[in-house]
Amino acid sequence: MNMSARLPELIRAFNGPMTKELVLEPAKFGLGSLPSRTQPVSVAHAVCGFCSTGCGLKIHLDEKGQAINLTPNTQYPVNLGMACPKGWEALTPLYAPDRATTPLLHGEAVDWDTAMQVFCRKFEAIMDQHGRESVAFLSTGQIMVEEMAFLGALAKFGMGMVHGDGNTRQCMATAVAAYKESFGFDAPPYTYADYEQGDVLVFIGANPCIAHPIMWQRVLSNPNQPEIIVVDPRKTETAMAATQHLPILPKSDLLLFYCLAHWLVKHGHVKPEYIAAHTNGYEGFCEFLKDYAPEQHYASLGLSEQEFLKFAETIANGKTVSFWWTMGVNQGHEATRTAQAIINIALMTGNIGRPGTGANSITGQCNAMGSRLFSNTTNLIGGHDFTKAEHRAKVAQALDIPEDRIPQKPSLAYDQIVQGIEEGRIKGLWMIATNAAHSWIQQKRIREVLQKLDFFVVQDMYATTESAQLAHLVLPAAGWGEKEGTFINSERRIGISRKVSRAPGQALADFHIFRLIAEYWGCASMFRSWTSPEAVFERLQQVTKGQPCEITGIEGYDMLESHGGMQWPLRPGDEPGKERRLFEDGKYYTPDGRAKFVYEAPRAVPEPPDAEYPLVLLTGRGTSAQWHTQTRTGKSAILRKLHPAVLMLDIHPEDALALKIRDGQMVAVSSRRASITAQARISTTMRPGQVFLPMHDAQVNQLTLSVVDPYSRQPSYKHCAVRVG
């Protein structure tokens, strides 16, 4: 295939719509500012590209249509004029001096024609020799919905890959698995207004003060003087602001909610009418609960009787109770059953489908919800099932592709792809907008695994990430703000983000890289109508027809922008601006319309502390200024100043005294997998026997354990045994 003659034309088309080259210089960092002396003359709208809150931003443009600064959008229904530090600095990473500006083959700059020839030749050779299951892709929750859909369709329908998963597996797979089994579909039921309408809010393994500060602002806007209960081993910033803190022992949350359910049943604080009309499996659940009398488990929970009873009575007496969880639940060895234990409480107390209620998973990445529905990885695009012939036929018709191009089985999950590489079954990998060499569990192992690949491609904004430095081929990608498309936030709101900056050098939007690959692979005819993100969005609308996530009522990007985004479902005739809380009618997405009680006996932690490794390591968000592996937030001097320059280990005074550790002392933190160095910070936010490290530091995942939840296959980042000295 010889595309070189058409390449300049394609590159020019893909880099539009701006007509003048943008000369980049290293950012002169300031709060939300860029290197320009030009006064803004117009405004574009965008949804922030960091976390799942989905804040609306106003991007101020000069006369060339180039972004020069930003402010939070006071009219956007999510953030109402607020932004966290990451949002204020959202444009700064685009101007980092280490942007990838040209394809790199074995570290040497090449043109796009060479890069595409090598990409196709290498992957085709591996597939010809070893079969379609010998290559895989790893996607992300950071790119646009339309890009995710294009990638999944291109890789599986166009190129013939079978396996592909995303880094959403690291944050939200547990919520997906729990909702699907309990509700019949991956369906977070809430709207952000629920933060402001309840009288009891329970946060489990969630620290929104730090991880989702704009959501926390919505909590603080609640006029009901609500009880705020935090269930977390650590006294987090949110726990400090709560009315109750339950400092449970690490990974005892499943046991806690079974004990709570036992107490609620015993004392008659359930809603029999709701249970009878809208659920299945309650009688079996009650039988199961006989072993979970709270008084038998206080020691295992690490709680006093008084703490537990106050917690239980607060929930029993609440009129509108909501339950919120995130990574502290999702990243555990029995995470799916823990999420379902929370769902069970909401169902049995009737705290679902009403304002201020719900079993509510807080999503992680800006487009993790989009990934869950449209990435075409372990679920067929649009929340469908690869194994069902009627689903394959429907998707083929909606996308106008041959039905026989759709695999008849789901992909391997992320950890299984890694295992496949390790065992030599997967020999080629394409990684898009994620950095597994930093973020995956047991970091040393994943780096060794990636080096076993015959061909490894990384597509990213920067060639300096840990993963890109291991790659054979690096494809330079545009970042947020340099392309157009939609994100779906935690409350299922689809928001539009416009292009407000030109990508540097030869970098292209992921969408256009996928178009280019389709041309070179020879499957472009399958995607002839996929000419723009909005054209793809229209295709996806047809894919969702009849699904719980149907969005056929959205009349284009302009409608999304004019209404401040829209929550799914939105069918023709639905009121566009209305907030949509699910299950208001008590009907779920199971075949019989009833929610299901799901339960299983707790299991011991995989790596309990012992004499050699006597402390439990907890990990989590360290600052609102940090995002995951710091690939982008690390480019901002402002954001770097908002967290310690060195890795800090929080340790309780009793443990520090026993180990003769002084505050500020550099110490070794060792697990069975690695040893790293951190600065001790003596803190009563920890209980004795526990230490804490922030997850964003590049060293931390050397320590973590290669264990996944058996149902969601999400890694257990939150618990392993260490020693400090």
- Write out 344-371 in H/E/C secondary structure: HHHHHCCCCCCCCCEEEECCCECCHHHH
- Are 344 and 376 members of one domain? no
- Are 323 and 232 members of one domain? yes
The fraction of the chain above a pLDDT of 70, given in percent, is 95
Burial 348-385 (b: 16+ CB within 10 A, else e): bbbbbbbbbbbbbbbbbbbbbbbbbbbbbbbbbbbbbe
Q: Tell which of 554, 581, 602 closes a domain.
A: 554
Q: In terms of Cα–Cα distance, which of 456, 443, 167, 184 is closest to 331? A: 167
- Are 166 and 188 members of one domain? no
Distance CA 302, CA 627 (A): 31
pLDDT tens string 560-610: 999 999 999 999 999 988 888 999 999 999 999 999 999 999 999 999 999
Distance CA 540, CA 550 (A): 9
Give the mean model confidence (pLDDT) for residues 532-560: 96
- Are 719 and 654 members of one domain? yes
- Are 146 and 195 members of one domain? no
Domain containing 147 — which CATH number?
A: 3.40.50.740
Domain containing 700 — which CATH number?
A: 2.40.40.20
- Are 622 and 639 members of one domain? yes
pLDDT of residue 15: 62
Neighbour tally for 321: CB within 10 Å: 27
Distance CA 205, CA 227 (A): 17
Domain presence at residue 461: yes
Q: Tell which of 523, 554, 585 closes a domain.
A: 554
Domain containing 89 — which CATH number?
A: 2.20.25.90
pLDDT of residue 231 exceeding 80 = yes
Q: Helix crossing, 443-450 with 414-422: angle to 10°?
A: 60
42-47 sheet: strands from edge to edge: 42-47, 56-61, 67-72
pTM recorded for the entire structure:
0.93
Q: In terms of Cα–Cα distance, which of 374, 381, 385 is closest to 492? A: 374
Q: Tell which of 361, 396, 431 closes a domain.
A: 361
pLDDT of residue 6 exceeding 70 = no
Query: Sign of torsion, CA 620 625 631 634?
Result: negative
Task: Find the domain containing 671 and state its range.
Answer: 615-724
Determine which helix (DSSP H) or strand (DSSP E) holds 165, and give its type and residue range. Answer: strand 163-166
Q: Are strands 455-460 and 428-432 parallel, antiparallel or unpaired?
A: parallel
pLDDT of residue 479: 96
pLDDT of residue 29 exceeding 80 = no
Burial 39-59 (b: 16+ CB within 10 A, else e): ebeeebbbbbbbbbbbbbbbb
- Beta-ladder partners of 204: 231, 325
- Are 196 and 249 members of one domain? yes
Tally the C-alpha atoms within 13 A of residue 385's C-alpha that lie toward its C-beta: 8
Domain presence at residue 265: yes
Q: In terms of Cα–Cα distance, which of 685, 666, 684 is closest to 724? A: 666
Domain presence at residue 572: no
Distance CA 33, CA 277 (A): 55
Domain presence at residue 277: yes
pLDDT of residue 2: 54
Per-residue pLDDT band for 24 (boundaries 50, 70, 90) equals very low
pLDDT of residue 25: 32
pLDDT tens string 500-527: 999 999 999 999 999 999 999 999 999 9
Per-residue pLDDT band for 4 (boundaries 50, 70, 90) equals low
pLDDT of residue 119 exceeding 90 = yes
Task: Tell me the CA distances in angstroms from 202 to 330, 356, 664, one per residue in order.
Answer: 16, 11, 34
- Are 272 and 137 members of one domain? no
- Are 461 and 500 members of one domain? yes
pLDDT tens string 401-446: 999 999 999 999 999 999 999 999 999 999 999 999 999 998 899 9
Average pLDDT in the chain: 93
Domains in the chain, number? 4
- Are 540 and 513 members of one domain? yes
pLDDT tens string 255-289: 999 999 999 999 999 999 999 999 999 999 999 99
Per-residue pLDDT band for 34 (boundaries 50, 70, 90) equals very low
- Are 153 and 184 members of one domain? no
pLDDT of residue 631: 85
Give the mean model confidence (pLDDT) for residues 145-162: 98
Domain presence at residue 579: no
Domain presence at residue 122: yes
pLDDT tens string 656-691: 999 999 999 999 999 999 999 999 999 999 999 999
Residue with tokens 């929610």: 595
- Are 239 and 342 members of one domain? yes
Domain presence at residue 595: no
Strands of 172-232, DSSP E: 200-204, 227-231
Domain presence at residue 581: no
pLDDT tens string 156-210: 999 999 999 999 898 899 999 999 999 999 999 999 999 999 999 999 999 999 9
